[in-house]
Amino acid sequence: MSTVLGKPTSRIDGRAKVTGSAKYAAEYHVPGLAHGFVLNATIAKGRIRRIHTADALAVEGVLDVFTHEHRPKMAASNDKYEDEVAAEGEHYRPLYDAEIRFNGQPIALIVAEEPETARFAASLVRVDYEQKPHATDFVARRNEAERGKHQHKRGKAAKAFDEAPVKITAEYRMPVEHHNPMEMFGATAVWEGDGRLTIYNKTQGPQNCRNYIANVFGLAKDKVRVLSPYVGGAFGIALRPQYELTLAVLAALALKRSVQVALTRQQMFTLGYRAANIQELDLAADRDGALAAWRHRVAAMTSRFEHFERPFVTWSSQLYTCGNVELGQSFVRVDQNTPCDMRAPGGAEGMYAIECAMDELAYAAKIDPLELRLLNYSDVDQAEDKPYSSKALRDCYQQGAARFGWAKRNPEPRSMREGNELVGWGMATGIWEAMQMKASARAVLTANGSVEIASATADIGPGTYTMMAQLAADCLGVPLADVSVKLGDSTLPHAPVEGGSFTTASVGSAIHAACRAVRGELLRMAQKMKDSPLKGVKVDDIVLADGHIRYKTDASRQVSVADAMRLGKADRIEKEASAGPNEKSKFAHSTHAAVFVEVKVDEQLGIVRVTRAVSAVAAGRILNPKLAGSQILGAVVGGIGMALHEETAMDHRFGRFMNHNFAEYHVPAHADVPPIDVVFVDEQDDEINPLGIKGVGEIGIVGTAAAVANAVFHATGKRVRDLPITMDKVLFG
């Protein structure tokens, strides 16, 4: 039995983070380091007629000003700018030409000996534009929507809807939201003197960035090394290479010296974002609450040059049984940068509307919202016609409701009160894909019992260092303190970008395979000993513990690791292995959750406070409840932000995001975050992967915004369908 897995273990990288020794990408300093500052476009569409750089170049300490007319050679073909998770279309190329595609687009890089000098010099650059009419109002252009990829029909949804006795029709809206991680984007491109580049970059995929840079600048991959040992949050914004990386490399190649480029908080709003969307749902049921019809249509924004789309509507077929379904997505092109993945992309947005609509249907049918969900529960992904490998959602409902006290809820809106505040209880369901990607890992066991585990994955905050160490310690039977971890380095064994909640399943399975290969080699060495007590034993029949290789069912049959390696004349055993998903699986794979939320609403001021929350999660085997619980806590906070706080406002006259700072872009502060109770439901899944694990990075946010919105309705009797739910909407609608 494992003494490491399943225990609430603290992060092995915790000390480095709280002492400041864990550096961000823009905190690396090398001799002769120059600093770049990005100049951004002030129009939304048009062309650059001329950039006046003479005044900036005249500033003492300025080394150069790079523009589309003055830069190293860059690739001409679109495919060279395609990264591992790129959207379809013409990919954006920093400083490539004179075209302006969005307000805030980088148009120049000023490089100087000091960062303050570069920033001052940037203020002296003047730009003449040929401005063209732009269109950034997604809602106004809704009638120009183009058909998207995600379409599905079964049964006769329109006819069933018309004939059903209970029905609701609703439209839900979400605004643009920006990620705003703690660490802003930065890149330090270190010129090694022999044509090699070592680049420290904020990224969720160092190999993705290495390949991108090699392709864009025509460099050999072995001449480019990308490092990201520590990342101060990302939430999806760092999946793709951002422009600070390209510009830092561009300048380093031109100047043949090390260059660092760091973005400001304001410039973070020139990058990708969660796309604004409008969702229409028509739900119908019989008088007992059984779903009769389900129609879900979504329009979301994307850029002119790329088609970014994530599945909003597909979740409609994965939770509730309904034979008459019509699902469809469309997208609207605007003169903005391309949206990008933001925690639980597609799921966080789609499930907000789905779960609010289910709540509305419950009230229309006069059925408890939880009972309605149980009544229409599905064990099958109906779009794919596949059963789930595991789905302990019923247990999530039961345990979450019990922990929250749902049975004490008065079903009537505005019926619960505390002083001058209305009290509301809401709930919602969460679902997210339990994905696995192909990944590789290297495991090294030395004769003194120390272990090194390595993979090119990133750690953006979920505790990947600790997960990797725990798996290695468990499999090789060593104390956690004897395991060292290498990650965030493009030269290490292959790993996909860290995202989608698939890192633990992907990299963890590779670690399991690599460590199993080490165990196999150890066993072979032990079996070569004269009169070995492990003769005829298979690798799955042994455990490693206390420096020994032991037969599982007879501890007296053992050989010390040191003796086996001494006989095998090995100072170290090193194995690399890969693992990937079961492509022939006949099952659907998902994590599930039930979210219960209490809000209190000031009846006179309309101020909404979330006062407590319970998130019950079924995510297979939980390797470390402390780390996994922390992921759910953070995700629930993100869901509260979606529901009550976050909105990026645009002035369509300029096509510019206006509240590009933390004073005006609101995220939940400490006072906004209530006690959050996380419940992990036991769920065994022997089919999904050898470890039985699913990711938890996203599942905590899916459904949370809907639970808050449903609680607000229960408290006030007013249904706000336009996020965020602010006091003006509560008071005046």
Domain edges within the chain = 18-134+181-264, 277-435+585-732, 436-579
Q: Does domain 436-579 have CATH number 3.30.365.10?
A: yes
Half-sphere exposure of residue 703, counting CA atoms within 13 Å on the CB side? 29
**455 DSSP assignment:** -
Q: What is the mean pLDDT of the segment spanning 182-206?
A: 96
Q: Does domain 277-435+585-732 have CATH number 3.40.190.80?
A: no
Assess contact for 187 and 26: CB atoms under 8 A: yes
Q: What is the mean pLDDT of the segment spanning 84-105?
A: 98
Superfamily of domain 18-134+181-264: Aldehyde oxidase/xanthine dehydrogenase, a/b hammerhead (3.90.1170.50)
Q: Cα(208)–Cα(647) distance, rounded to whole angstroms? A: 30
Q: Would you place residue 195 in the very low, low, confident or very high pLDDT band (cuts 50, 70, 90)?
A: confident
| pLDDT at residue 470, as a whole number | 98
Assess contact for 196 and 225: CB atoms under 8 A: yes
Q: Cα(590)–Cα(500) distance, rounded to whole angstroms? A: 12
Q: What is the mean pLDDT of the segment spanning 387-409?
A: 98
Q: Would you place residue 733 in the very low, low, confident or very high pLDDT band (cuts 50, 70, 90)?
A: confident
Q: Is the pLDDT of residue 1 over 60?
A: no
Dihedral pair phi/psi, residue 710, rounded to 5°: -65, -35
Q: Is the pLDDT of residue 649 over 90?
A: yes
| pLDDT at residue 236, as a whole number | 97
Q: What is the mean pLDDT of the segment spanning 217-226?
A: 98
Q: Cα(461)–Cα(606) distance, rounded to whole angstroms? A: 35
Q: Packing angle between helix 243-255 and helix 206-217, nearest 10 degrees? A: 50
The token pair at 137 is 């109002």
Assess contact for 371 and 290: CB atoms under 8 A: no
Of 183, 576, 683, 698, the catalytic one is 698
| pLDDT at residue 674, as a whole number | 97
Q: Would you place residue 2 in the very low, low, confident or very high pLDDT band (cuts 50, 70, 90)?
A: low
Q: Cα(101)–Cα(130) distance, rounded to whole angstroms? A: 12
Could you give the C-alpha distances from 499 to 3, 415, 695, in angstroms and in order? 28, 42, 10
Q: Report the SS3 class of residue 671.
A: helix
| pLDDT at residue 21, as a whole number | 95
Q: Cα(417)–Cα(437) distance, rounded to whole angstroms? A: 49
pLDDT, tens only, 460-481 = 999 999 999 999 999 999 999 9
Assess contact for 313 and 346: CB atoms under 8 A: no
Q: Cα 204 to chain center, whole Å? A: 9
Pairing mode of beta strands 439-446, 572-579 = antiparallel
- Same-fold call for 277-435+585-732 versus 436-579: yes
The question of whether 698 is a catalytic residue gets the answer yes
Q: What is the mean pLDDT of the segment spanning 174-197?
A: 96
pLDDT, tens only, 302-329 = 999 999 999 999 998 899 999 999 999 9
pLDDT, tens only, 263-272 = 999 999 999 9
Q: Cα(463)–Cα(466) distance, rounded to whole angstroms? A: 5
Q: Is the pLDDT of residue 3 over 90?
A: no
Mean pLDDT of the chain: 97
pLDDT, tens only, 483-494 = 999 999 999 999
Q: What is the mean pLDDT of the segment spanning 231-259?
A: 98
Q: Which residue has the tokens 């839900």?
A: 172
